[in-house]
């Protein structure tokens, strides 16, 4: 059982931390938003969920919030950030983003969008190996809250930490965010691998080779390499790439069965952020000159340019080289 949480300043007992309740507004009534609302509510915080379909206005929902947590899909982030700018949001309000994706128009992450819109407010990223269905079943899980404002990060940690949900802090919000975002593309590739019944060896090789690819992208964009070996990087990748609860994994698996992408997404009934991320990632890689062999094959597969079998064959036919060259000299 977890007995303490660690903030940037000191260690305090979990019981003391949970007495510091907050007013939390969760934007987004989907599975993840609902789970995060429930976690905060269980700790005794005042919580409300806002959605576009609900009766409460956005301005009213965030008016007195200590923490505004965004759990909406990537396609709605820029619009919500713009709408929030028209609300009376105090500069002390902490903005937390739990969305894993990249904006197709600007290639920015959610935290970058919110920070640009609210330069005076602290912005915190929540990311980790967190399958909402397992958390709802009260199975143990851990996550990372990352931000440049250490006090705000510790505050969010205190709001969410419990004996079943371990919360760690990080000072690398971009790394935490990109780890959770980029692994969704890898999960599609692993879904294809499993759908084609290529075995555990192939799956392990694919995940292992994806790690330096993700690190190449992340560090080029300004993240710290070590972050990608933590919960929000490798941890999230393992959970998403090995569970049928993962929507992105199911996209790859469905494509491997010969289904069209539109059919797979319709059957899924919810957003698989890896699809959009793959398209944006290729734009970033082309702009920055970053080799992304796995992600590029996923992008081609999603566009119908190759079959699942051809995607795997393309990866297996790459030039022979030392394993250790793949981060510093990937060519």
Q: In order of start, what are the domains of the chain with their CATH numbers?
A: 4-171 (3.40.50.720), 174-325 (1.10.1040.10)
For residue 318, pLDDT over 70 is answered with no
CA dist 231 to 46, 139, 268, Å?
28, 16, 26
Band of residue 14 on the pLDDT scale cut at 50, 70, 90: very low
The C-alpha atoms of residue 293 and residue 281 are separated, in whole angstroms, by 12
Tell which residue, 157, 105, 103, has the closest CA to residue 126: 157
The pLDDT value given to residue 323: 55
Q: Rounded CA gap, 111 and 117, in Å?
A: 10
| CB within 8 Å of 199: residues ≥ 6 apart | none
Q: Per-residue pLDDT averaged across 61-71, rounded?
A: 96
Helices (H), the chain: 14-19, 31-42, 58-62, 77-84, 110-117, 132-136, 150-160, 173-195, 200-220, 236-241, 247-256, 261-268, 273-288, 293-302, 308-316
Q: What is the mean pLDDT of residues 110-128?
A: 97
What is the arithmetic mean of pLDDT over 35-53? 95
The average pLDDT across 133-151 equals: 96
Return the pLDDT at 21.
87
- Tens digits of residue pLDDT in 276-313: 999 999 999 999 999 999 999 999 999 999 999 999 88
Contacts of 98 (CB under 8 A, 6+ apart): 32, 33, 36, 69, 70, 71, 125, 126, 127
Which of 118-127, 134-143, 261-270, 321-330 is the least confident region? 321-330
Please tell me the predicted confidence (pLDDT) of residue 1: 29
* Contacting residues for 160 by C-beta, under 8 A, at least 6 apart: 36, 39, 40, 43, 126, 143, 145, 167
Burial code (b: 16+ CB inside 10 Å, e: under 16) for 101-136 equals bbbeeeebbbbbbbbebbeebbbbbbbbbbbbebbe
Catalytic annotation, residues: 183
Structure pTM? 0.89
Percent of the chain residues past pLDDT 90, beyond the cut: 86
Half-sphere exposure (Cβ direction) of 172: Cα atoms closer than 13 Å:
20
- Average per-residue pLDDT for the chain: 90
Q: Which residue has the higher pLDDT, 323 or 84?
A: 84
Q: What pLDDT, in 10s, does the model give residues 211-253?
A: 999 999 999 999 999 999 999 999 999 999 999 999 999 999 9
Q: What percent of the chain has pLDDT over 70?
A: 90
pLDDT tens digit sequence for 166-175: 999 999 999 9
The pLDDT of residue 271 is: 83
Quick one: the chain helix, strand, coil %, rounded to 5? Answer: 55, 10, 35
Return the structure tokens found at 20.
Answer: 């510091």
Query: What residues contact residue 43 under an 8 Å CB cut-off, 6+ apart?
Result: 18, 21, 159, 160, 161, 162
């Amino acid at each position: 059982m977890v007995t303490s949480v660690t903030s940037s300043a000191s260690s305090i007992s979990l019981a003391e931390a949970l007495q510091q309740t907050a007013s939390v507004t969760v934007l987004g009534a989907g599975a993840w938003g609902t789970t995060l609302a429930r976690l905060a509510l269980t700790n005794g915080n005042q919580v409300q969920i806002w959605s576009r379909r609900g009766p409460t206005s956005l301005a009213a929902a965030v008016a007195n919030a200590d923490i505004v947590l965004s759990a909406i899909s990537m396609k709605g982030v820029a619009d919500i950030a713009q709408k929030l700018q028209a609300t009376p949001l105090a500069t002390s309000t902490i903005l937390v983003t739990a969305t894993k994706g990249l904006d197709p128009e600007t290639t920015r992450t959610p935290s970058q969008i919110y920070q640009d819109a609210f330069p005076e407010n602290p912005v915190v990223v929540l990311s980790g190996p967190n399958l909402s269905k397992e958390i709802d079943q009260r199975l143990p899980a851990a996550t990372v809250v990352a931000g440049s404002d250490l006090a705000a990060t510790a505050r969010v940690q205190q709001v969410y930490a419990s004996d079943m949900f371990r919360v760690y802090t990080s000072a690398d919000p971009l790394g935490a965010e990109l780890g959770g975002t980029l692994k969704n593309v890898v999960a599609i590739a692993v879904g294809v691998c499993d759908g084609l019944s290529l075995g555990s060896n192939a799956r392990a090789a694919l995940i292992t080779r994806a790690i330096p690819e993700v690190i190449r992208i992340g560090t080029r964009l300004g993240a710290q390499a070590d972050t990608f070996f933590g919960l929000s990087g490798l941890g999230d990748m393992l959970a998403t790439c090995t569970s049928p609860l993962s929507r992105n994994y199911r996209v790859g698996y469905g494509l491997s069965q010969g289904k069209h992408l539109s059919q797979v997404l319709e059957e899924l009934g919810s957003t698989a952020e890896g699809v959009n991320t793959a398209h944006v990632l290729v734009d970033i890689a082309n702009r920055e000159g970053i080799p992304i062999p796995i992600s590029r094959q996923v992008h081609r597969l999603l566009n119908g340019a190759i079959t699942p079998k051809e995607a795997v064959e393309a990866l297996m036919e790459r030039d022979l080289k030392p394993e250790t060259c793949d981060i510093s000299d990937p060519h």
